[in-house]
Structure 1
Amino acid sequence: MTMHAWVGYGGTFDPIHCGHLAVARAVRDALGADVQLVPAADPPHKDATHADASHRARMVELAVAGERGLHVDRRELARDEPSYSIDTLREVRAEVRDATPIVWVVGADSLAQLHRWHRWRELFDLAHLLAAGRPGFSLDPAGFAEIDAGLADAIGRRLQPLDTLLDAPSGALALLPMEPPRTESSTDIRRRIADGEPWMSQVPPPVAAYIDRHRLYARPVSA
């Protein structure tokens, strides 16, 4: 694994599941770099989390334990204010050399909403974006014109091949198709747990044990 790039994969991980791990491994292998999984404290562009930050971070730690090149970065959990990706990337850029490539991994579903993110255009001043395939969300750049013209323009100007992403410190967008796309969904896993349906196969075994032990996502027992 190279130490000449900082690669972050942010998310609520509520809970982390096998699809998240598959993306992290694919990014690690494609870039030949360590990947930092960055649990969010309170992401403004998503609904409130269901498990508190300490539980979510611990599940990520359990999921990546023993995984080559995968680590947990808790920096966002220490913030009292809302957790914005731009702030995380600004922190990282201040910690690494100006010439160090920074890559921020997002899902194709998040890429389709990028124009709604806080100061989204400034992300490219600090880092590259790497979009991983998600079921139901096309990575075809032409399709983004129907979502937002400014987003489509940014994607069209910044898109470059994945194998050239680490040639510069920031400013580009690359695509990482996941074929077939992983179908796991944290929302569906939480629903399955609450409804008593099978779910354990969709998360790493240590995470399943942790969820079960702490009764996370279960419906409250009626008195």
Structure 2
Amino acid sequence: MQAEQALSGDTAAGLPLGLLGGTFDPIHFGHLRLAEEAREALGLGELRLMPAGRPPHRGEPGSTPEDRLAMARLAAAGNPALRVDDTEVRAQQKSYTVLTLEQLRAESGPLRPLVLILGADAFEGLPGWHRWKELFALAHIAVANRPGYAPHGRRWPATLSAELAAACRDRHSTDIADLRTTPAGRVIAFDMTPLAISASLIRDLVRDGHSARYLLPDSVLDYIAAHRLYRKGR
């Protein structure tokens, strides 16, 4: 897997590597704040933003993989703890997370802790993912505790399918040290700041000729304007 910048000495020493995937259509402050809070709360040495090339669980994005990759690079610029990984954009097949993790695991070795960051709704839908049970052998899973879920006690959705509950049995951890001492297999939750920003809102605003400023970095907004993304009749 190719990151946009070389790893620092501290990261190479074995601190957990966080992975935040998404369509990022476009990337916005909600994504970036989640990345920053995950990095801090989970003690990550590095966090990689991974734009999906061909998302298997939704329709075609409103912009091309290359545009979404370019916007992610612009958004991550200036934060040395963030990298942008173009593996899924370059891949010819659909962006299945298990395939990406297999590649990253092969390149990182068997001992480097990997942490897959998921929103609570994505985590709840995990049984619908391709070869989802194999994810636990490849990485830890960190679940972002978002608005609407209890801040105390169980740190993921209160209602899980029997299949997912069984797969998570004996994996739940509340100690981030577990993410450093083992390479994969734990499920841990962390709090995220609620930001009522969505990519669909931004696309709708741009389409209708309204301002989306302060919902995403100016550099990304300028890119959208320069390339006339999300506009009617494009």
TM-score by length of 2: 0.87
Q: How does 1:1-223 map to 2 (within 5 A)?
A: 2-3=11-12, 4=14, 5-30=16-41, 31-136=43-148, 140-141=155-156, 143-145=158-160, 148-164=161-177, 165-179=179-193, 181-220=194-233
Taking the aligned partners of 2:149 and 2:227, their CA distance within structure 1 comes to: 33
Taking the aligned partners of 1:92 and 1:85, their CA distance within structure 2 comes to: 10
Q: Secondary structure at the match of 1:200?
A: coil
Residues 53, 137 of structure 1: alpha-carbon distance in 2 compared, 3 angstrom cutoff: farther
Residues 133, 197 of structure 1: alpha-carbon distance in 2 compared, 3 angstrom cutoff: farther
Taking the aligned partners of 1:144 and 1:87, their CA distance within structure 2 comes to: 28
Query: What number of residue pairs does the alignment pair up?
Result: 218
Taking the aligned partners of 2:83 and 2:175, their CA distance within structure 1 comes to: 22
Residues 157, 46 of structure 1: alpha-carbon distance in 2 compared, 3 angstrom cutoff: farther
Instruction: Give the superposition deviation at 1:130.
Output: 1.0
Tell me how large the CA RMSD over aligned residues is. 1.8
**Which deviates further from its counterpart, 65-74 or 149-158?**
149-158
Taking the aligned partners of 1:21 and 1:80, their CA distance within structure 2 comes to: 27
Q: Deviations over 1:173-193 (max 9, x none)?
A: 1112113x2221111111121
Taking the aligned partners of 2:47 and 2:183, their CA distance within structure 1 comes to: 16
TM-score by length of 1: 0.91
Which structure 1 segments of 5+ residues have no match?
A: none
Which structure 2 segments of 5+ residues have no match?
A: 1-9
